[in-house]
Amino acid sequence: MAKTFFSDDHEYIKLEGNIGTVGISDYAQNALGDVVYVELPKVGAKVAAGDQAGVVESVKSASEIYAPVSGEVVEVNNELASEPGQVNQDPLGKGWFYKVKISNDTELQKLKDETAYNAYIQGL
């Protein structure tokens, strides 16, 4: 079973071995409104924890996507180019952004598990 962690910037990463699937939380997609465009990193790109890895645009605003951990992008969700609304409909499922091969798993310790994240967003 994949373990999911969340950043304070509302990105999630679902772990399966040393590969993490990254997207934005349900809270984030709800705050953005209807997503109309997603800019994804390129396969092979190196990302560093906390650095911008893409952009998500909605009818309300544009927001950066930050890498929750460092690593190499191994896959992107190309379906979002034609169906960006998947981010709203299924943010932790079909609305994922990219997959990263994690280079430093100690960075996961800085992220929140689902219980801690839910407590965090209650205070916002």
CATH code where residue 36 lies: 2.40.50.100
Tell me the mean pLDDT in the region 6-30: 97
61 φ, ψ (degrees, to nearest 5): -165, 175
Q: Which domain holds residue 94?
A: 3-114
DSSP per position, 64-112: EEE-SS-EEEEEE-THHHH-TTHHHH-TTTTT--EEEEES-GGGGGGSB
The answer to the question of residue 62 being in a domain is yes
**Structural domain total, the chain:** 1
For the segment 48-101, what is each residue's pLDDT rounded down to a tens digit? 999 999 999 999 999 999 999 999 999 999 999 999 999 999 999 999 999 999
The answer to the question of residue 121 being in a domain is no
pTM for this prediction: 0.97
Measured CA to CA, the distance from residue 56 to residue 36 in angstroms comes to 8
DSSP 113: -
The answer to the question of residue 119 being in a domain is no
